[in-house]
Amino acid sequence: MNIVERFLNYVTYDTQSSEETNVTPSTKKQMVFAEHLKKELIAEGLKDVELDEMGYLYATLPSNTNKPVPTIGFIAHMDTSPDASGKDVKPRIIKNYDGSEIILSNGLVTSPTIFPELLDHKGEDLIVTDGTTLLGADDKAGIAEIVQAMVFLQQHPEIKHGKIRVGFNPDEEIGMGAHNFNVEKFGCDFAYTMDGSEVGEIEFENFNAASAKIAINGCSVHPGYAKDKMINAARIATELTQMLPTDEIPETTDGYEGFFHLTNISGSVEKAQLSFIIRDHDREYFERRKKEMIDIVENINEKYGKGVAALEIKDQYYNMREMVEPKMYIIDIAKQAIAEAGMTPIIKAIRGGTDGAQLSFRGLPCPNIFAGGLNFHGPHEFLPVQSLEKAMITIVNICKISAQKSTNINHP
């Protein structure tokens, strides 16, 4: 099975996660895919294949050298985003993309005018959706690349490498992917998540992240007799959103700029609910943003009455930079691996999160490497076949280079 066939098989599995269930994995369908992957890893010759009851899958490619070399890991997540359906994905491959608009179903068009990154892949073969679902390259591309790299290394025993650990987890898209990842069992000196985007990218900075949920309790009274009695929860919800900075939202920010993002709002006169995510690369600014949210809710309660608005803020993950910087040889290995695969390494900060952030703070330095897909979380998602292949070769190169440089690596 080649890497494209492997990826196309993976996206037939609906693995959308859910923030509503409060169980792990958050959806049973993720476990269906995990069971499939377990059988596949065994069939492909990996050892110590283990799937736990929470949907975390681990496996080993044993070392083929007698040198003392670090144990390294590669990690990808099985779930797809709750933002768009991942059911009945119908991918197609556009051979030798010519730079024109891509017509999807239901009158939907992926245009290089709106998505200029398409033009960076003229002449390549693009895997696209039919416009009714996301594709699932985030992160089934990463899984396909890791599995294919393990197969490649077994087919090429002349490439010397140390012990390699593979880890696939559920629920990354809801910020829970690393919560139950068994770092001790994984047993690696360092690892990489294959969960990035454009070719050549290496990421070891990410947002500090928190979620905020606000419940508003109103008072429903006949509108004809509502004066000084009614508390309209739905209207207060809209008022609250306008109290946040209008220029600090995802639509208006870039680079290292943080934001408040309203992800859901619903309600009636009697009850309303709002969900936000709070993001910033700078830890101090991150704390300020959380304080601003607290102050806004307090202002609502001062205006409408104690207990009208209730806020719950939860930190989700932190910027991994402070954990990776002391061990920059991990980044140097990735840069060399990418260069040897014929690409220019690109160091950039993630405007988002990755399981590697939490894992880094739990003692497993874990930067993120490109997986090749673009326009995640919606029907405009696409994956160049050539990027898929280059990511796989990058994994192989990391394994090779880690063994070659083993004497220069300071083990944790």
The pTM assigned to this predicted structure is: 0.84
For 77, the token pair is: 């997540």
76, 168 contact by CB (below 8 A): yes
Residue 407 has pLDDT above 60, yes or no: no
For residue 412, the model assigns a pLDDT of 41
Number of helices and strands in the chain (H, E) = 10, 17
For 329, the token pair is: 């040889």
The residues that are catalytic are 79, 172
102-114 per-position pLDDT tens digit: 999 878 999 999 9
Closest to 126 (Cα-Cα) out of 158, 101, 154: 101
Query: Is 208-316 a CATH 3.30.70.360 domain?
Result: yes
330-387 per-position pLDDT tens digit: 999 999 999 999 999 999 998 887 789 889 999 999 999 999 999 999 999 999 999 9
Question: Confidence class of residue 411 from pLDDT cuts 50, 70 and 90?
Answer: very low
For residue 409, the model assigns a pLDDT of 59
257 to each of 117, 198, 242, 249, 352, how far by Cα in Å? 21, 20, 20, 9, 11
For 333, the token pair is: 């290995």
Determine phi and psi for 274, rounding to 5 degrees. Answer: -130, 145
Strand order in the sheet with 368-370: 47-51, 57-61, 164-169, 72-77, 190-196, 368-370, 201-203, 346-347
207, 175 contact by CB (below 8 A): no
Mutual angle of helices 283-304 and 233-242, in 10-degree steps: 140
Domain 3-206+319-408, CATH homologous superfamily name and number:
Zn peptidases (3.40.630.10)
Determine phi and psi for 322, rounding to 5 degrees. Answer: -65, -20
Determine phi and psi for 142, rounding to 5 degrees. Answer: -60, -40
Closest to 176 (Cα-Cα) out of 52, 323, 357, 14: 357
Instruction: Tell me the three state secondary structure of residue 287.
Output: helix
The Cα–Cα gap between 189 and 72 comes to: 6
Return residue ranges of the chain for CATH 3.40.630.10: 3-206+319-408
259-313 per-position pLDDT tens digit: 999 999 999 999 999 999 999 999 999 999 999 999 999 999 999 999 999 999 9
For residue 132, the model assigns a pLDDT of 94
The Cα–Cα gap between 29 and 31 comes to: 5
DSSP element (H, E) containing 216: strand 208-217
Closest to 359 (Cα-Cα) out of 193, 203, 170: 193
44-88 per-position pLDDT tens digit: 999 999 999 999 999 999 999 999 999 999 999 999 999 999 999
123-134 per-position pLDDT tens digit: 999 999 999 999
